[in-house]
A and B are shown apart, each in its own frame.
Chain A
Amino acid sequence: MSIEVNGKEVEWIKNENIKDLLKRMKYTFPLIIVKINDKIIPRPEFSNVTVPNNSKIAVIHMISGG
């Protein structure tokens, strides 16, 4: 029972949504892009979408500057 977050194996928790996972991972950046199994999850869905077991999650954050 595990998931992969940015290449790291992490315990899977039943019914955990993305918002809670980000909190658990201590990803506190306000501007991030989340993909679950290569599908992008829009920000308003973070508290509605639960993380499936065995899924691969990618979290990247954007920093100002260009």
Chain B
Amino acid sequence: MNKLKSEKIKKRLKTSSVGIAGLGGLGSNAAIALARAGIGRLVLIDFDIVEESNLTRQYYFLDQIGKPKTLALNDNIKKINPKIKIDLYNEKLEKDSMEKRFIDVDVIIEALDSAEIKTAFVEEILTKLPDKPIVAASGVAGYGHSDRITTKQLGNLYMCYDEHAPSCDDDVLMAPRVALIANWQANLVLEILLGEDK
């Protein structure tokens, strides 16, 4: 292991912050990956509570059913890394002020569910915070076809993208593919924060 490199990475990540919009299959898994990687501060937003059906793919446990996702995920992250600073917002993203909790983070992860809200969020962030990198995902439903996922970059918008994937309205959401894309997003965040791994 390259000690110098790992010290440098540790230091850089400790002073970094990442905002995550939505704490479902994408957001909960991405948050755990980033917490393990050593991000110093996370800003987490969701208005939902943990339901039994979420446990097929989201990073929650049976005894957390009924709890707000923000509080449940906070507990789970703290069991891994108690030192990480977490700002929790148990609220719905409101159109025209979607950017407000993300103004001071280094990178934003879009981890919302419906295509309408995903689009509205990305549009608002790109328009109101044009200098902020945002990592979005589209095409998480189904299983298999890992090789179809690609990263698309359009300026400060980074997309984890499978343009041939079906909508979750017509297909199942399953842990392997959802977590794969969530970790793909987290991996991209590290690349944005640290620069390309050479």
Contact = CB atoms under 8 A, between A and B. Distances in A.
Interface of A: 30-33, 35, 38, 40, 42-43, 58, 60-66
A33 B113 contact: no
B112 A66 contact: yes
B22 interface: yes
B127 A64 contact: no
Nearest to B21: A66
Nearest to A39: B155
Given A31-B115, A35-B154, A61-B138, A66 B122 contact: no
B123 A33 contact: yes
Interface of B: 22, 24-27, 111-116, 118-119, 122-123, 126-127, 136-141, 152, 154-155, 157, 159, 161-163, 165-169, 171, 173, 178
Nearest to B141: A65
Contacts of B116: 31
A61 B139 CA distance: 10
Given A58-B154, A64-B113, A66-B113, A33 B137 contact: no
B132 to A, nearest CB: 13
22 contacts: A30-B115, A33-B157, A42-B123, A43-B123, A58-B154, A60-B138, A60-B154, A62-B115, A62-B136, A63-B115, A63-B140, A63-B165, A64-B118, A64-B141, A64-B167, A65-B25, A65-B113, A65-B178, A66-B25, A66-B27, A66-B111, A66-B168
A32 B154 contact: no
The 6 closest A-B pairs by CB, nearest first: A65-B168, A66-B113, A65-B140, A62-B118, A64-B115, A31-B119
Contact of B127 (A31, A32, A40, A61): A40
A38 B126 CA distance: 11
Contacts of B168: 63-66
A33 B138 CA distance: 12
B119 A66 contact: no
B154 A62 contact: no
Contacts of B165: 63, 65
A35 B136 CA distance: 16
Contacts of A61: 115, 138, 163
